[in-house]
Amino acid sequence: MQKNESQSGNNEVKPLNSVFVGCSLDGYIAYKSDGLEWLDKIPNPEKEDSGYYAFMDRIDALVMGRRTFEIVLGFGDWPYKKSVFVLSNSLKEVPDQLIGKVEIVNGDLNLILQNLHARGLYRLYIDGGQTVQAFLKEDLIDEMIITRIPVVLGDGLPLFGMLNNMLWFEHKSTEVYLGGQLVQSHYIRNRNY
């Protein structure tokens, strides 16, 4: 895996762990048994981009859970140009065609982050419900861009989990996409509260 040259030697880059995720009104990121078919209900004839590509442009790498990784693998073509780090204790190796693009990591999240920062990877896209929850538990999420899909699913994989301490954010902006069906809000962690 390449060091991110654009960041190396730049001491002013601040680490930034970001969440960019779509979820239902009741906070699920996938329906029962990982299903994403419900998302097809949203008509998107123009394949309107709801900020995803601009977000991907400003990150250095992705950190995702094993479950999310396997869902993405199921899509066929590998969609990411940036390096992907998969959090997993069970996976030992990545498929041949992804060597150099994907690395398996595990252990203490702070140590994983130190390691990524040392490699010049500061701006990280944290993806997957359990992974986001693990990062939130250690107050390691700096911003969240949450797109609400206008459905109450009633069951599925939740974005959020239990926390011992509440985490306050500052609302930065809200955009409405897809003819007004998707509401995307951008929140920045406020650690002064």
Out of 7, 106, 130, 181, which residue is the one contacting a second copy (CB under 8 A)?
181
Q: Looking at residue 13, what DSSP letter applies?
A: P
For position 21 contacting a second copy by CB under 8 A, the verdict is no
Interface segment toward a second copy; rule CB under 8 A; list 6-14, 48-56, 99-107, 147-155 = 147-155
Parallel, antiparallel, or unpaired: how do β-strands 102-105 and 83-87 relate?
parallel
What backbone phi and psi angles, to 5 degrees, belong to 123?
A: -100, 105
Number of residues that bind a second copy (CB under 8 A): 42
- Minimum CB separation of residue 164 from a second copy in Å reads 7
- Minimum CB separation of residue 38 from a second copy in Å reads 6
For position 138 contacting a second copy by CB under 8 A, the verdict is no
- Minimum CB separation of residue 170 from a second copy in Å reads 6
Q: Label residue 84 exposed, middle or buried (CB < 10 Å: 0-12, 13-18, 19+).
A: buried
Which parts of 41-91 are beta strand (E)?
Answer: 61-65, 83-87
Footprint on residues 148-167 left by a second copy (CB under 8 A): 148, 150-155, 159-167
Q: Which residues of the chain form contacts with a second copy (CB under 8 A)?
A: 24-27, 31, 38, 41, 136, 144, 146, 148, 150-155, 159-174, 176, 180-183, 185, 187, 190, 193
